[in-house]
Structure 1
Amino acid sequence: MAIPKHEQPPHAVRLIRTELGSVMDLEDPNAPGSRIGRAVGVYAYYDYDGEPIYVGQTSSSFRDRVSRHLTGQRSDAVAKFILDPFEVAFVSMWSVPHVAGAKSLRRPGQPASSAEKKALLDPYEYTVYKTLEQKSKFHAVLNEGVIRPTERVELPKVVHQRIIPEVIWEDRKHSDVRIARRAATISRLSQMISEREVSGGMRRTLLLQARRLTWLAEQRIHEVGVELPDAEDAKIGDE
């Protein structure tokens, strides 16, 4: 007997999808009575340490775009090994309600095109990007492309929620698991770079991923009480 499609993903994946669905059903603080999942705007992902790792925008809906990244559907960022969905523990969403109902400047009376909505969202995306870049311990996020500079704007109220259920939090957060994931991501990304003509942004992402892996591995060394050798110890080991 065939397993129903909705039961095919592993249990942990189904739990995360359920949690993500609950987040998308939260009220939009910038449009009371509406659900945040139906809104358009800017979103950001954070890892288990609260480190910002990716910023994007959507003129369709958060439910559509965020789910595409995190539930295995098509995503360029995932396909290029820039973003590992396993790393995403928190999501922030800044809805911009006036963009959803914007009218076209080129076609009076008609809804704004996707390109026109993108232009309206660009200042919000850039503001979020620069804000999180400054807060990051690495002063960077994993986006392949540099977000086009604009004037910064005042950001609307944000919905910031964890998407990993408590029952699997400790297992997913474990440093050794995340070290292995980051190393695997770096391997796949570096292989892609070696085989294709890629953007400078992908090379920047590779460097940042390497820095993030080094930082996490150093944190783990300290957690388990292993001392790093100093210069004198290194000399003794070489004799």
Structure 2
Amino acid sequence: MTELFRRDPDAVNIPPFETEDLRQNLSRFLDSPFEDPAGTHPFVGNYKWGVYAFFDYDGEPIYVGQTNERLRTRIRRHLTNQRTDAVAMSVLDPFEVFEIEVWPLPQFQDSNRTDLAARQHLDALERLITDRAVEGSQFKAILNEKDPPPGDLAVETPPSFRARIVSDRVFELRSHPDFRIARRSLILSRLAQVISERKVQGGLRRVLLTQAKRLQWLSARRYEALGGAASVAVEAEGEEV
């Protein structure tokens, strides 16, 4: 008998496999060295100011955000603590995040949150990354409930770091198209319920529409891959249905 079956399941004091796997891989991502312009290699998650983007299993951009409290703190709040509005409202599903890309702003590492120049630069970078994400999406939309802050400042894209946060084992579990369709349907229904129970702004309805398009695309792709119309059985004459 293996060690697993010798344990009392009620006494196991560790998270489920997928939860622990995400925490480990996310820590590995956030503790990755980043080549700073100053010549140092700090952990990428330790930068206070920066923009981040999440990508799904198809490489589709699904969410863009900014932070001035530390990339590590904000990204963890989305994916492991699940204490952001985006997750709580079923706008963002942590299970869909396959890769993360971050754009740190090392020049503002010592700036506080009231630094106007730093805030304007951060907002401008978020606008730039959001525009590129939307343009690069085949749906021409991402799952953000709100648009980035407006402004006239234009900035160049700084160096970034991108990597996957899903192990091969979790990828095998989650990448099956039927699992993804079921999971996306679940999140879509949760979001629809949130909307039905509250007075919401147009942003949530835009997310609902985008998720519906994403679900339709995934379902259509699966249907066609398995034969499409040719795979549909024909009712026999006189068959009761």
What TM-score, normalized by structure 1, do the two folds share? 0.85
Give 1:80 deviation, angstroms. 0.8
In the alignment, the residues of structure 2 paired with residue 185 and residue 76 of structure 1 have an alpha-carbon distance, to the nearest angstrom, of 14
The answer as to 2:225 corresponding to 1:223 is yes
Among 62, 76, 85, the residue aligned to 2:71? 62
Give 1:147 deviation, angstroms. 1.3
Residue aligned with 1:83, SS: coil
Match of 1:152 in 2: 154
The answer as to 2:40 corresponding to 1:38 is no
Give 1:158 deviation, angstroms. 0.9
In the alignment, the residues of structure 1 paired with residue 115 and residue 220 of structure 2 have an alpha-carbon distance, to the nearest angstrom, of 44
The answer as to 2:28 corresponding to 1:22 is yes
The answer as to 2:137 corresponding to 1:136 is yes
Contact 2:68 2:113 in 1 (8 A): no
In the alignment, the residues of structure 1 paired with residue 176 and residue 137 of structure 2 have an alpha-carbon distance, to the nearest angstrom, of 21
Match of 2:5 in 1: none
Contact 2:78 2:94 in 1 (8 A): yes
Among 163, 186, 189, the residue aligned to 2:188? 186
Give 1:170 deviation, angstroms. 1.8
In the alignment, the residues of structure 1 paired with residue 19 and residue 225 of structure 2 have an alpha-carbon distance, to the nearest angstrom, of 28
Amino acid of the residue matched to residue 148 of structure 1?
P
Q: 1:50-104: CA deviations, max 9, x gaps? A: 00000000111111111110113311100111001111000000000122212xx
Amino acid of the residue matched to residue 171 of structure 1?
L
What TM-score, normalized by structure 2, do the two folds share? 0.85
Contact 1:29 1:159 in 2 (8 A): no
The answer as to 2:94 corresponding to 1:85 is yes
Deviates more, 1:59-68 or 1:44-53: 59-68
In the alignment, the residues of structure 2 paired with residue 228 and residue 214 of structure 1 have an alpha-carbon distance, to the nearest angstrom, of 19
The answer as to 2:106 corresponding to 1:97 is yes
Match of 1:171 in 2: 173
Contact 1:144 1:201 in 2 (8 A): yes
In the alignment, the residues of structure 2 paired with residue 118 and residue 216 of structure 1 have an alpha-carbon distance, to the nearest angstrom, of 38
Q: 1:177-199: CA deviations, max 9, x gaps? A: 11111111111111111111101
Give 1:211 deviation, angstroms. 0.2
Gaps of 5+ in 1: 103-110, 234-239
Give 1:114 deviation, angstroms. 7.4
Match of 1:13 in 2: 19
Match of 1:49 in 2: 58
Residue aligned with 2:161, SS: strand
1:115–1:207 distance in 2 versus 1, CA, 3 Å: farther
The size of the alignment, in residue pairs, is: 220
1:219–1:152 distance in 2 versus 1, CA, 3 Å: farther
